[in-house]
Structure 1
């Protein structure tokens, strides 16, 4: 009997021991912390990784980043750990928090806890730095970004050749597109990275389009009609088609002279000398085409009295008139007679933001300035103040660029005499342009371009003509490339 009780007692003690909670054996620990662009599309265009030092986590993001609702991505040492902020469960890549002040992340694993403090600060201010100089003669240059690798590409024309170049490390790698004189180039790059180049040939009086296929450049069209020097030809791709917009300068016959010609390529055949559906104005200059979120926008200067511009859109195979004709008033509303600003028939620019708002860089009265067209109301307003006119030569050209997060930049030359290239940006607080930053130390030719990559790096290319003394070249012509990026 006693033996039986002893056996039962021993068995009961054994059951109690095995039922005790020993808890997880891992650590309550954060092993990685970051803000990923894919989880913060409204605030970031690239990923930013935090540095973990003990229980302190620091992350640097660009200045002016909205910190009010950032989504963090994190990893724990043990997949069973629970993570909370002020008692609210956190899901990596999903839960948003306000990081305007330090945020405490509590990591719990059974009875183990660890408290991490996340501090978000600003990266150093982005600065313009020289990437490279390329000794190259040019009559015209055009800059575009290959969005497949975020690298800048150029098309360069001169008396001897048409050349394509792409940044490779800190130098340009160039390829000959055509061994003959080219003028008035246009450069378009498809979403798949396929380059298309337009150039005009004065000997044949025709425009040519070339593309790179299988490692070699091939001319796929030589029948675009004579192009005017105010053409500002533009080439772009959308919906699997290539579009080329030029100003017709055919003088025999002259029935289409100064009209906007539309040439399209569907991959097998071309349609040339087409019109913009819905356009009623006979004459046009400097067509500028841009694509954004599946829509192509086409801007055209109208050399009529008063000077005006038109904007058209193309989406899903259909053309629409966005702005039929707009002349920019110089007189007060209601004044009689009304007066209007005039513009130089030279080098306007256009960018579009993610909401479809349109920004135009135009040198009205030889003064660089930017107009914004609201996507919904079509209301047109000037952005920032007017840049004082640097003269009727330097003041005829400006370039604008928009960062992926919506910050606006403008490049222009400072005076007729010095012709130094400088850049301003729009201050979000004052709603006006910042003090200009001088980029070049030499006079800059009309040819300069500025574009942003989708990751937020801006590239600015410009051309400097050669210098001669007593007929001898002392300083060769060159193309300079700068970029805007943080030092970290």
Structure 2
């Protein structure tokens, strides 16, 4: 009997040894290495990746609290050659839809080893998080027309403050934000998508952040905080020397800055474009010539202007020095520069040329006639209007001599600020403001000098206008004490048809040098900007009227060098450009944002 028991035990041992000898030690046991639910495999089910934890033969995964557990696709990895199944049905990673609303037994087997392991998968709903905005900003990529760089908001409790310059267009800003998981963000009843949804931030905007079932919510008030913009120089234009009177414009169609100028003649230079018009455009970080340089006839002095239609077509108007009298000629760029209409259609000598190009068939040129033998009175303001052909016409100042003028356009209206020559009806160097629209001239102001002033100054003057019909003029006078001249910015209200001094009084700078220069521009939000050159100190300064403080802002120094012909212009989104000609006859340009 003992012998039989011994033989049985020996047989079992031998069999075990035989099996052990047949097992391939290079083939690993069945094993789940990773397991999870990924958003790309579960579109419309979950919106974030949920990675599980594998501990022994138990797999746990947490998913968002609103997830439907009955239809989920798992993505997993196993040892090579392993087959995964649930209830005898193969489970394919990243493909098979499975119900995980109850624990699932996952069989992982290796057919070669004839071995298998059972795993239990438990999927649970994560607890809902408290509603909270964790970051808020305006990214450049989503707000190209309004900001020049990413602007980060400052979150303090339930208030979010975002710094931005006053001139920036705040009406269509797209916010990029992050929240705690599962939160829903709304403005009013509109669900907000980070990096996509636009809102008007002219006034504070309330963001409501709620958890998934709406049982908890938090309100954040987002407001724009006005800060000074940053001045950044862009590439100086120096390819050709610039004559006085260079004009800075912004293309309304693509917001690119242009400069139109007459090339200065340089001693011993043989430039064929000298004394002629050239237009350059800033694109892709460099200045490029529009068409050819020196495309015009010779230009008389600095009597020229440059404009761009809303469709983006550049135009120039200049006094043609190659004809007699030197009357105005207009050219446009349409793949090449060409003359608009007939040449030499008037007997005027065109001085102080101004250009308002509305469209190919609506162009207004204003000038002071300097030809005493012209059919138009000498030194009067005359308009040349193109509607398919040129028509020269008198303005409201047909019989009044004009000393100097400035012009602008807004909407479909051309505007002129004209300073009368000497005494007119008892007023010394009074000024007029005219508007041209639909073929008619109207007077917004006539022969005006402020009370207490000796006259309207003749060195600093400018005009600009807004799309709503508001008109701003810059003049200088000594109304404050009868002696010192100060800048005065006034606004015309198109509704009341009244004029008012911006800020209630003059700008405090004392204008005492005949070479001082100044320009004004109105930003899209209605903020009026004043750019002025203090010639004695060679300081070019920028200020603006703050509608909140009702004061002119402390001036921002643009440059401290010898400069002439300062210019300022804004894009429709509030980005500003400033230009001036330096001592080397190069054009220096800054971006303000």
Q: Could you tell me the TM-score, scaled by structure 2's length?
A: 0.61
Which stretches in structure 2 are left out of the alignment for 5+ residues? 1-64, 70-125, 266-273, 479-484
**Match for residue 242 of structure 2 among 120, 137, 159:** 137
Note if 1:170 corresponds to 2:285: yes
Greater length-normalized contact order (CA 8 Å, ≥ 6 residues apart): 1
Contact 1:198 1:235 in 2 (8 A): no
Q: Deviations along 1:35-92, whole A, 9 cap, x unmatched?
A: 89xxx9xxx9579989899x99967352559999999889999xxx97667xx63465
User: CA distance change for structure 1 residues 412 and 328 in 2, over 3 Å: closer, same or farther?
Assistant: same
**Match for residue 330 of structure 2 among 191, 204, 209:** 209
Structure of higher CA gyration radius: 2
> How far apart, CA to CA, are the structure 1 residues paired with 2:169 and 2:590?
29
Contact 2:167 2:574 in 1 (8 A): no
> How far apart, CA to CA, are the structure 1 residues paired with 2:531 and 2:294?
29
> Aligned-pair distance for 1:456?
0.7
> How far apart, CA to CA, are the structure 2 residues paired with 1:168 and 1:435?
32
> Aligned-pair distance for 1:201?
2.5
> How far apart, CA to CA, are the structure 2 residues paired with 1:427 and 1:98?
15
> How far apart, CA to CA, are the structure 2 residues paired with 1:200 and 1:76?
59
User: CA distance change for structure 1 residues 195 and 31 in 2, over 3 Å: closer, same or farther?
Assistant: farther
1:341 match: secondary structure: coil
The aligned residue for residue 341 of structure 1 is 455
> How far apart, CA to CA, are the structure 2 residues paired with 1:67 and 1:197?
29
Which stretches in structure 1 are left out of the alignment for 5+ residues? 1-21, 332-338, 466-475
Structure 2 matches for 1:279-428, cutoff 5 A?
279=397, 281-305=399-423, 306=427, 307-315=429-437, 317-331=438-452, 340-344=454-458, 346=459, 348-364=461-477, 366-384=485-503, 385-395=506-516, 397-415=517-535, 417-428=536-547
Q: Deviations along 1:166-205, whole A, 9 cap, x unmatched?
A: 1123332124142653141111111100011011123312
Contact 1:298 1:313 in 2 (8 A): yes
> How far apart, CA to CA, are the structure 2 residues paired with 1:69 and 1:371?
27
User: CA distance change for structure 1 residues 90 and 343 in 2, over 3 Å: closer, same or farther?
Assistant: same
User: CA distance change for structure 1 residues 410 and 256 in 2, over 3 Å: closer, same or farther?
Assistant: same
**Match for residue 258 of structure 2 among 153, 166, 191:** 153
User: CA distance change for structure 1 residues 326 and 381 in 2, over 3 Å: closer, same or farther?
Assistant: farther
Note if 1:479 corresponds to 2:587: yes
> How far apart, CA to CA, are the structure 2 residues paired with 1:403 and 1:453?
8
> How far apart, CA to CA, are the structure 2 residues paired with 1:67 and 1:131?
22
User: CA distance change for structure 1 residues 74 and 182 in 2, over 3 Å: closer, same or farther?
Assistant: same
Contact 1:288 1:298 in 2 (8 A): yes
Contact 2:570 2:576 in 1 (8 A): yes
> How far apart, CA to CA, are the structure 2 residues paired with 1:226 and 1:99?
52
> How far apart, CA to CA, are the structure 2 residues paired with 1:189 and 1:478?
22
The aligned residue for residue 89 of structure 1 is 189
User: CA distance change for structure 1 residues 97 and 203 in 2, over 3 Å: closer, same or farther?
Assistant: closer
1:369 match: secondary structure: strand
Contact 2:355 2:365 in 1 (8 A): yes
User: CA distance change for structure 1 residues 60 and 261 in 2, over 3 Å: closer, same or farther?
Assistant: same
1:377 match: secondary structure: coil
Contact 2:168 2:573 in 1 (8 A): no
User: CA distance change for structure 1 residues 432 and 255 in 2, over 3 Å: closer, same or farther?
Assistant: same
The aligned residue for residue 60 of structure 1 is 162
> Aligned-pair distance for 1:133?
1.7
Structure 2 matches for 1:264-279, cutoff 5 A?
264-266=385-387, 268-271=388-391, 273-276=392-395, 278-279=396-397
Coordinate RMSD, CA, aligned: 4.4
Q: Deviations along 1:75-125, whole A, 9 cap, x unmatched?
A: 999xxx97667xx63465699899759x55234655787768565564863
Structure 2 matches for 1:38-49, cutoff 5 A?
none
Contact 1:423 1:438 in 2 (8 A): yes
User: CA distance change for structure 1 residues 91 and 110 in 2, over 3 Å: closer, same or farther?
Assistant: closer
> How far apart, CA to CA, are the structure 2 residues paired with 1:96 and 1:167?
30
1:329 match: secondary structure: coil
Q: Deviations along 1:121-162, whole A, 9 cap, x unmatched?
A: 648631222112222231321111101111111111134121
Q: Could you tell me the TM-score, scaled by structure 1's length?
A: 0.73
Contact 2:347 2:375 in 1 (8 A): no
**Match for residue 451 of structure 1 among 530, 554, 569:** 569
The aligned residue for residue 200 of structure 1 is 319
The aligned residue for residue 557 of structure 2 is 438
Contact 1:351 1:358 in 2 (8 A): yes
Structure 2 matches for 1:190-269, cutoff 5 A?
190-204=309-323, 205-214=326-335, 216-220=336-340, 221-223=342-344, 224-227=346-349, 229=351, 231-237=352-358, 240-253=361-374, 255-266=376-387, 268-269=388-389
User: CA distance change for structure 1 residues 69 and 414 in 2, over 3 Å: closer, same or farther?
Assistant: closer
Q: Deviations along 1:246-293, whole A, 9 cap, x unmatched?
A: 111113347521122211222x4222x3122x5454223444443333
> Aligned-pair distance for 1:477?
2.2
The aligned residue for residue 461 of structure 1 is 579
